[in-house]
Structure formats: structure tokens, C-alpha cells
Structure 1
Amino acid sequence: MLDREGFRPNVGIILLNAQNEVWWGKRVREHSWQFPQGGIKYGETPEQAMYRELEEEIGLRQEHVKIVGRTRDWLRYEVPDHFIKREIRGHYRGQKQIWFLLRMVARDNEVNLRLTDHPEFDAWRWHDYWVPLDVVIEFKRDVYQRALQELSRFLSWPAHAGQERRHTPRYLRQPHPQRGQQATAQTVPAEPQRAAEQQMVLVPGKR
């Protein structure tokens, strides 16, 4: 289902824990990370599609989360031609997304990445809200930045966090001294990347 401009209606999900960390999933057999997302089927509202995708991709149901906020309007990204099937080139341009910010009210062990026969992710972890965008496929990065920035207004930050840390993405600010020297999103060397992957929750039987 495409609109007149060639964009497919879609939802994106930013899932928070109690510490305002976000759920960060590693795509199956890839070294890229992303938030859950998926298309809106004919007759579905964005909210209905969001709950369906939430269950299909990470195994959580409506009772496991609370809606904190959503983007005011569609956020669009175009997909490069070499990622588009030949038969729909010239018709399909990309995705237009409504993004939802959710609070998880269930335990971590409720997450199930293998609920369907075609899982999207093979590992996951909690990450600071301002995720490093260099591990996101390039054509989605601008939408991720805009979604995170817009939805950050719904969050409450600890008083000691400081004004600069509450509203400035990690990839645009200096590392916090308590967390040590970490790379910015533009340059993530191998060691921090391996350290991050050591903390993630792996799915048995997946690489």
C-alpha cells in the first residue's frame, strides 16, 4: 500500500525502560542495529499497526507497555534504488512513519525475538536514549535523529542530568565523565563496538 508519492505507511517504535534507556535490536545476521518498525496494513490505524509489530518483532503485547507519546506527523525517508526490488522501482520511494514512544512495564524476560518464523532481530540490549546513529543504515539516520529529538520532550530526566545532557544527542556532545571516554557516532572503533555486543541479549541458535 503506497501513497500517491510512493511512500509506504509505516510505524516506528522507541521502547523505554524505567531508566529512559531504549530497546536496541541487532538485525538478523547483520552488524546493524535499529528500532522495531513495520508497515501499516490496509484498514489498520497506526496504533493498531504498532501493537501488531511490537508483538511480531519483539514478542511484547499491549499489556506490556504504555504509550508515552507519538510524533505529530509522518517522518519520511527514501530508500536507495539498489535496495528496491526491480519490479517496483519507479513506484516505491520509501517509508513514511509515525513514531511511538513506549514505556515497558514488563520484565526483560518477556521479550521474545523468535515468536515468528522470520525474526527481524537476533540480539538486543538497552542503550542510552541518544543512540549512536552510525550503526543504523545510512538512509534511516535522519529520521531516527528527528524521531528521537521530537519524542524526547515527553521524557522526565533526573535533576542532576543537566540541561545539556537532557536535550543534546550523544553524537553531538562530549562523553559523560562517569561513563568514560566513548566514541561519537561518527567514529566508533572496534573495541567499544565489541564491548557493546558483549552486553546484549543473544537469541539461542542465531548468529
Structure 2
Amino acid sequence: MMLINRDGQVFVGQRIDNVLEAWQMPQGGIDPGEDAQAAAVRELWEETGVTADKVTLIAEAPEDFCYDLPPEMIGKVWKGKYRGQRQRWFLFRFDGEDSDIHIDTPHPEFRAWRWAAPADLPQLIVPFKAQLYRDVLAAFAPHLPGGGATPR
């Protein structure tokens, strides 16, 4: 999910299980029988400590987005079960204060977090997800400052 603050900046975190300098937006799975939007709110809370009363849904991407793992990672991540991911994206406005963000959750996913300009997202993420982030930016462009413009 994309979480945008009052200044038009997007929440990004550095994964706790990776030493790369890459920054990513929160993401997570949908439990069996769970509504996708409810899953997004739950995952946001699990990864950032941000509660449902601190966010407002702005938009849902009109389609799912997919990415493939690079060949060298296939068979090494996700216990070798998957070659990529299909993702459904939601854009939420963060209505809280920075002090409402707590990445030290019971099962932490991030070791650090910050706000970033939307246009910077494709350069912050691991390279194989850069196109995915460009696609997400394009989907949410009408709701982002400057249309979320990013060079290709």
C-alpha cells in the first residue's frame, strides 16, 4: 500500500531482513476469506503500527500489478514456491502524526523508515521492482502531487 502524508510524501521502510539500502512501501498478503482493503489496513498496522483510524482510503489501483523475481533469486526466496508476485495496491492518506508510526511491532519488518517524494520511489526500491513502482505511480497519479511524475 502507498501511504502518503499531508506534504505529499510517501512512507518507505528498509526491510529488517535485508542489508540492501533499498526502501520499499508496506506490503503483505491477503488471508483466506479476507477483503483486500481490510488486508491492506491490517498489514499496514502490522508493519508500521499505524491504526485504521489514522488513515483514509484515497484510491484503489484499477488493476493488479505483477513482477517476476530475477533468475538468480528464483528458488531462493519464498522457499522456492513462487517466481514473482501479483499485488493489489491501495493509496491511503496518513491522518496521524509521525509519532503514530511504530515500526518496532511484535513482528518487525522494517529497520528504518522515512518519507520520500513519490517520484523517487522507483530509484529507492530494489531494481527488479522499479517498473512495478512506476506502474503504481501511474495508477495513483491523479491523486499525487505533480501527478507522481517519474522519469522512465
Mark yes or no: TM-score above 0.5.
Answer: yes
Q: Give the alignment partner of residue 59 of structure 1, picking from 31, 43, 49.
A: 49
Instruction: Say whether 1:168 aligns with 2:136.
Output: no
Structure with max Cα Rg: 1
Which structure has more RCO (C-alpha within 8 Å, separation ≥ 6)? Answer: 2
Is the alpha carbon distance of 1:92 and 1:43 closer, same or farther for their aligned partners in structure 2, counting shifts above 3 Å? same
Query: In structure 2, how many angstroms separate the alpha carbons of the residues matched to 1:71 and 1:103?
Result: 15
Specify the SS of the correspondent of 2:128. helix
Paired with 1:167 and 1:41, the residues of 2 have a C-alpha distance of 30
Measured in 2, the distance between the counterparts of 1:20 and 1:51 equals: 20
Q: Out of 115, 121, 141, which is 2:130 matched to?
A: 141
> What's 1:185 paired with?
none
2:10 corresponds to: 22
The answer for unaligned runs of 5 or more in structure 2 is: none
Q: Which stretch shifts more, 62-71 or 17-26?
A: 17-26
Q: 1:92 to 1:21 in 2, by over 3 A?
A: same
TM-score, normalised with respect to structure 2: 0.87
* Distance (whole Å) between structure 2 residues aligned to residue 167 and residue 52 of structure 1: 26
1:107 shift after superposition: 0.8
Q: How far apart are residue 138 of structure 1 and its match?
A: 1.7
Shift of 1:81: 4.3
Counterpart AA for 1:45: D
TM-score, length basis structure 1? 0.65
Q: Could you tell me which residue of structure 1 aligns to residue 89 of structure 2?
A: 99
Work out the number of aligned pairs and report it.
149
Q: Which residue matches 1:68? A: 58
Q: What displacement does 1:154 show? A: 2.4
Q: CA offset at residue 82 of structure 1?
A: 3.6
Which residue type is aligned with residue 124 of structure 1? W
Query: Aligned residue for 1:201?
Result: none
- 2:28 corresponds to 1:38: yes
Gaps of 5+ in 1: 1-12, 158-164, 173-207
The one-letter code matched in structure 2 to 1:98 is R
Measured against aligned partners, the alpha-carbon deviations of 1:88-108 in whole angstroms (never above 9, x if no partner) come to 64x522111111110001111
d(CA) in 1 for partners of 2:104, 2:88: 25
From 101, 104, 129, the equivalent of 1:114 is 104
* Sequence identity (%): 32
